[in-house]
Structure 1
């Protein structure tokens, strides 16, 4: 139950951050990074909301965790770069992208496994 709530909370926060990021990007001189970051947050907020109802499966919990880490690193780095003109740390966005890809692969693998009774 706690994992469901935590996943749902992050889904809401990611959705809100995605909308805010896109709104700021729409008014920025060059908002390309913000557009990408906002879209990644919104897409994964929807995915996390769906996963919140299935976190009783270990691979689904793992995918939710990977989505959270991926969003923080990937979108966080793009937003930080847009605001500060430098990266959070070297390879932050690519590391986040890898986490997001692994999260989607965990969703696929989790869908193949039978549910626990």
Structure 2
């Protein structure tokens, strides 16, 4: 299976989860950082969609993996805290933030590498 399909699937799931998280944060569970979690998911859904269609991007798979892992840990921890009143696991949100930063750095490095034919 080509890399664009699972990355595109991840983009769609992250986008849907982002919208749902923002809606729950606006209407049901307020003051729980769900706006931050939803925003992270939506921003990275767009980035994943771009990666899914970035032909020749050398580090596309690594960037996508870091984005997905980062979204799961960062937003997942905020959502879990809002619903369960406890952390997903110790340092989940900061670890997710680091993964997201590394994903963006992989995008930057990949842009500097020669394109594949």
TM range (shorter): over 0.9
Paired residues, number? 117
Provide the residue aligned with 1:82 in structure 2: 82
Runs (5+) with no aligned partner, structure 2: none
**Shift of the alpha carbon at 1:56?**
4.4
Deviations 1:58-86 (A, max 9, x none): 41210011000000000001000000110
Residues 67-106 of structure 1: matches in 2 within 5 Å? Answer: 67-106=67-106
Task: Summarize the Cα distance change of 1:11–1:3 in structure 2 as closer, same or farther, 3 Å threshold.
Answer: same
**Shift of the alpha carbon at 1:54?**
2.1
Provide the rounded CA distance (Å) in 1 between the counterparts of 2:84 and 2:43.
25
Between structures 1 and 2, the one with greater helix share: 1
Is 1:33 the counterpart of 2:33? The answer is: yes
Runs (5+) with no aligned partner, structure 1: none
Provide the residue aligned with 2:7 in structure 1: 7
Over the aligned positions, Cα root-mean-square deviation in angstroms equals 1.4
Provide the rounded CA distance (Å) in 1 between the counterparts of 2:8 and 2:55.
10
Instruction: Please say which of residues 54-63 and 20-29 is displaced more in the overlay.
Output: 54-63
Provide the residue aligned with 2:43 in structure 1: 43
Deviations 1:29-71 (A, max 9, x none): 5334100000000000000000001264341210011000000
**Shift of the alpha carbon at 1:26?**
0.2
CA contact (8 A) 2:37 2:74 kept: yes
**Shift of the alpha carbon at 1:27?**
1.3
CA contact (8 A) 2:73 2:93 kept: yes
